[in-house]
Amino acid sequence: MIDVGSFRSRDCYGISRRAFVRAGMTLPLAAGAGRPAEANVTAPAGPARSVVLLWLWGGPSHLDTFDPKPDAPQEVRGPFSSLATRTPGLRVSELFPRLAQRSHLYSIVRSNKNLTSTHRIAASIALTGQQGANGDADYGPAIGSIVQRVQSGRQDLPPFIAVTPGALKTALGIVRGTGGGRWGKAYDPVPVACSDTGQVSIPALKLLDGLPTNRLADRKLLLGQLDQIARLEGAAETWQESFRRAYRLLTSDEGRKAFDLSRESPRTRGEYGRSVFGQSCLLARRLVEAEVPFIQVNWSQWVENLFDSKTDFGWDTHWLNFEHMVDRHGPILDRALSTFLDDLNHRGLLENTLVVALGEFGRTPKISANAGRDHWPAVYSSLWAGGGVIPGQVIGQSDRQGGDAVTAPVTPDMVATTILQQSGIGTEQRAELRLFPDSHVIKELT
Amino acid sequence: MRSAIRPVAVVVAMQITVWAGVASADPPLQLTTDGRIKRDPVFVDGGRAIVFTLQSDSPRLVLAKLDLASRRMSRVFPDANLPELKCVFSTDQRTRAWLRITGNDRVSLLVHPAGAETAYVVKTAKTVSWSPALTPDGRHVVFNLAGQLMVHSIPPKVIRPLAKSSGRNDWPAISPDGRRIAFGSSRDGNFEIYVADLDGQNIRRLTQRPGLDMRPAWSPDGKRIAFTSVRDGNYEVYVMSADGQQSVNVSRHTERDDYASWHPDGRKLVWVREVEGRYDLFQSTVVDEIKD
């Protein structure tokens, strides 16, 4: 069942004009006609038609996932043993048996580095590939926003979709580097929420409560109303585009189908696991099939692992790192990501879909007094698959205790540059957009 | 009928001088069908119901009760607006303990003692308590505090460490006679299962295999311990003799099987089984496989 706001694909209700107007105002604003593609940047042709960024919000422990240290002292190694994989030299935590069996589908980078240990800032840097200005206030566009600006995708779907339980937050505030940034809200992603039961909703359209389908179909009438309202608001162009983007989703049968997980067999839905992340990965696969250029799947809305009624089990495991790894995070990630890679592979989609799984940093090698692990930006790991990436490799190396990179570090700008390059946004186009002039791709990956 | 069978089962168990193992008698019986994430089931009401933790929309985790006759599910605390999990009971069910997620990395361990009007919080500082277990008489709760096992006495409401050790210590389970405790610990490497006296003395390691072993659960007669192991590359439910000498995989299933708990009759186990990605409660009868 897809829930577009409160609009369900099989039901319809009434809507007030006021609610309709407010709904439009909540959407990401898009400047210019149609979608926000840039006229002076050539549409790219890279190995990755779609990018799926699996955002492991909170910072997974690299030692307890993809860079175990079985020979380190107990206070570093932790309580988990490690498993051999199909890739020589690659062992992963024992919590990932399925991923261990599929290492021929992906490569692991073990020398990622970030610039700060503050979640919100580190996340913004990781998602944009660059530091902000004016403290934590002013960021460049997120990687997905850059792809959105250049890629067209299908006309009835937004080019940058964030499958997320909500806007990324910590107890201290919202993450700023998740959308258009200096380019404006026109390049923000369209957020879509997916529950553990596979219920999909588009929160930006929540206020379109009960719009009858006969009025939805009457595009001319709605656009006429919109023009009137927009003139009153004095922002006709941007407002109209925001409505168009919503309208496309609501009125395009094909567009809506992409969000409808009930079209999947129970077996397929189950294979991804009955978790928010699992069902979100399944939705991502459907969006890949629908040729959406950039899909970001957020593990959680909140960075915190445990947070009163807001608890949605982020990866920030200062406490209970090992308990949550074994209870939830390990099994859920192992199942969802393995199935996602298999599914893309079996459908012939992996070749032209770049999958990247990472968080904003790793976690302390030494286990804390609270029996958890704290923030660690000096070195951490990421997983790369498909989209022209050479699989079955371990790239980079951390030291014996996972404290620092002993090979050249992979910095956030390199992550961004590599994703853009695989999306067909090469050196020339990045130069036109004045992005990452001094950076380079992670050479071993491609 | 049940009361007629029970003594026979006990007699059979007592005749076994070398307990060798158990096996599932029948395919596990599926008790729930909603498929949402579940954990920590325990039998209550003499085995007629199960209390467990259930994934929910809001709050994220709720304590649910499944009546086995009607299969009707209800919330233990219908008005709770904070996530709650891991509810455990004394044998007479008059004392219970559970966890409530109260803030940013704040978990309260609550105890509602027998006869008391309200529950109280065992630990209020910004520390995370986890995995409570009650002694059968309801006079002590053992829990994991920052990786070490602690004992809280009810009353006089004092907390003391059970036994400090290197590594992580978790999943305490008190034997039916209240004298021993089984728990998971990484003191020797990865998580293994250990047993000790309730004062923390005479610690012995029960499992020796590579791969995670965790969540021990005593059988009502104290002769067996069910637990979860990934020694075969997958979360499976095992049952071993209380001395750890013999163990057998009773779930034998390609997906996750976890959080085993014994029925009061000592012949049935309930656990959370993942089937095609859906988490449900399953019950299985286990029988002795080898007798001498």
- Identify the band that residue B210 occupies on the pLDDT scale cut at 50, 70 and 90: confident
Rounded Cα–Cα distance for residues B110 and B115 (Å) = 15
pLDDT in tens, B165-188: 888 999 999 999 999 999 999 999
User: Smallest CA–CA separation between B151 and chain A, in Å?
Assistant: 18
Are B235 and B272 spatial neighbours (Cβ–Cβ below 8 Å)? no
Q: Determine whether the interchain pair B36/A196 forms a contact, defined as Cβ–Cβ distance below 8 Å.
A: yes
Domain range list for chain A = 31-202+259-445
Which tokens hold the place of A343? 């599914």
- Identify the band that residue B58 occupies on the pLDDT scale cut at 50, 70 and 90: confident
User: Smallest CA–CA separation between A379 and chain B, in Å?
Assistant: 24
**Cα-based distances in Å from A421 to A48, A52, A67, A162:** 9, 14, 26, 21
CATH annotation of A31-202+259-445:
3.40.720
Maximum C-alpha span of chain A: 70
Nearest to A81 among B211, B234, B279 (CB): B211
Rounded Cα–Cα distance for residues A39 and A18 (Å) = 35
Q: Which residue of B has its CA nearest to A70?
A: B189
Per the prediction, chain B carries an average pLDDT of 88
Domain range list for chain B = 2-288
Q: Determine whether the interchain pair B61/A327 forms a contact, defined as Cβ–Cβ distance below 8 Å.
A: no
Q: Which residues of B touch A74 (CB under 8 A)?
A: 166-167, 186, 189
Are A256 and A135 spatial neighbours (Cβ–Cβ below 8 Å)? no
The DSSP-derived string for chain B is: -HHHHHHHHHHHHHH-SS---EEESSSPEE---S---EEEEEEEGGGTEEEEEEE-SSSSEEEEEEETTT--EEESSTT--S-EEEEEE-TTSSSEEEEEEEEBTEEEEEEE-TT-SS-EES--SS-BEEEEEE-TTSSEEEEEETTEEEEEETTTTEEEES---SS-EEEEEE-TTSSEEEEEE-TTSS-EEEEEETTS-S-EE---SSS-EEEEEE-TTSSEEEEEE-TTSS-EEEEEETTSS-EEES---SS-EEEEEE-TTSSEEEEEEEETTEEEEEEEEEEES---
Selected for mutation to probe chain B from A77, A321, A322, A323 (highest B CB count within 10 Å) is: A323
User: Smallest CA–CA separation between B106 and chain A, in Å?
Assistant: 7
| Cis before B156 (ω within 30) | yes
Q: Which residues of B touch A97 (CB under 8 A)?
A: 230, 233-234
Nearest to A309 among B83, B214, B275 (CB): B83
B2-288: which CATH topology? Answer: Neuraminidase (2.120.10)
Nearest to B146 among A306, A312, A369 (CB): A369
| Exposure on the CB side of residue A208, measured as CA atoms within 13 A | 28
Q: Determine whether the interchain pair A308/B186 forms a contact, defined as Cβ–Cβ distance below 8 Å.
A: no
Residue B197 has a CB neighbour count (10 Å cut-off) of 15
Closest CA to A381 of A126, A198, A46: A126
Amino acid A24 reads G
Rounded Cα–Cα distance for residues B64 and B52 (Å) = 5
pLDDT in tens, chain A (446 residues): 555 543 343 322 333 444 444 444 444 433 332 345 554 566 667 899 999 999 999 999 999 999 999 999 999 999 999 999 999 999 999 999 999 999 999 999 999 999 999 999 999 999 999 999 988 889 999 999 999 999 878 778 889 999 999 999 999 999 999 999 999 988 999 899 999 999 998 876 654 545 555 555 565 566 666 566 555 555 545 444 555 666 666 667 778 889 999 999 999 999 999 999 999 999 999 999 999 999 999 999 999 999 999 999 999 999 999 999 999 999 999 999 999 999 999 999 999 999 999 999 999 999 998 889 999 999 999 999 999 999 999 999 999 999 999 999 999 999 999 999 999 999 999 999 999 999 999 999 99
